[in-house]
Amino acid sequence: MNPFRFDGTIKSLVTAYSTHPQSSFHQLKAVSHRVYTHYLGQIEKEIGDRAVGEISGLDLKGWHVRWSSNGEKPAASKMCRAVLMAAVAFGVEARLPGCADLAISLKAASRKLPGPRRRETVMTAEQVVALRAAAHADGRPSCALAYAIVFEAAARLWDVLLWLSWEDVDADLVLRYVPSKTSGKTGLAVTYPLTKAPMVMEELAHWPEPRSGPMIVCEGTGMPYSSNYFGEKWRLDRAKAGIADNVWARDLRASGITEGRASGVSTDDAAKVAGHASTRTTSAVYDRATLEAAERFADARVAYRHRKSHS
């Protein structure tokens, strides 16, 4: 199909965005690619027959009500809007008729729509221990290791499940990798000494040498977890650990960072561990700075747990 066989409809715009070889759609990481594909299908089904030149920001406000289930799921609406705007941005780049005006209108309307509330859920180290125990009881040391790395090293969940490999861990058990979110942008690397992550070290006892290939694989298939299957196992472990249903697996990362801040580490050290860009660190000393920051971060957290357990 000719990707520029554009007939002026949203459907043909979606086709152009998702099939043209120079579209940014093809640069998405695996997880994002699946998410975008899902929402592009939804957009095509619901508004595919609408003419680009006849859509305004007022339409977007109306779609927001439906996409957010009357305001109950603002994150879903935000994601759907982001995917639509990505398709429109490609149309602007390709100079497809009507897309430039639509981009301006959608951007103006989107600023006035409510987004998801900031999550405040925080798990304790004791709850993560319970999660790991639940995973082991069900014969899934892979999930237990994933929980430990996300919490201790403040790594993004999907990086741990789909991105990390044993080759990212050196002989001194220092984890070094470029997160998928920054690999195509800043290239900012993350460093963490696993020897200072007690939960990870406990889990590594279940993984004999030599270690190679993807770090986290499903015991039944030997392949990385799908999002649906991992979510199913997360809900099982969460229930067994006695953790509330409103707690997400992704909250493990925020909980680890929160524990670090509560234990007194600086915002700058926490930012380095989380892989957030910092203008105060130059490329010449970056690797050394992040390792030192991670060591201070890890030391403070272990000391904080020790103080809590003896208080």
pLDDT tens for residues 52-87?
999 999 999 999 999 999 988 898 999 999 999 999
Separation in Å, CA 110 to CA 13, 77, 91, 230, 245: 20, 10, 18, 32, 30
Q: Which residues neighbour 171 within 8 Å (Cβ) at sequence distance 6 or greater?
A: none
Would you place residue 171 in the very low, low, confident or very high pLDDT band (cuts 50, 70, 90)?
very high
Q: What integer pLDDT is reported at residue 285 of this predicted model?
A: 30
Q: What integer pLDDT is reported at residue 260 of this predicted model?
A: 86
Task: Read off the tokens for 66.
Answer: 């439906």
Would you place residue 289 in the very low, low, confident or very high pLDDT band (cuts 50, 70, 90)?
low
Would you place residue 286 in the very low, low, confident or very high pLDDT band (cuts 50, 70, 90)?
very low
In 138-216, which ranges are continuous DSSP H helix? Answer: 141-152, 157-162, 180-183, 198-204
Q: Which residue has the tokens 């957030």?
A: 276
Residue 215, pLDDT above cutoff 80: yes
Highest mean pLDDT among 69-73, 130-134, 291-295: 130-134
pLDDT higher for 134 or 227?
134
Q: Where does residue 200 rank: exposed (0-12), middle (13-18), buried (19+ CB within 10 A)?
A: buried
- To the question of pTM greater than 0.95 for the whole model, the response is no
Would you place residue 236 in the very low, low, confident or very high pLDDT band (cuts 50, 70, 90)?
very high
Residue 283, pLDDT above cutoff 50: no
Is the preceding peptide bond at 210 cis, omega within 30 degrees of 0?
yes
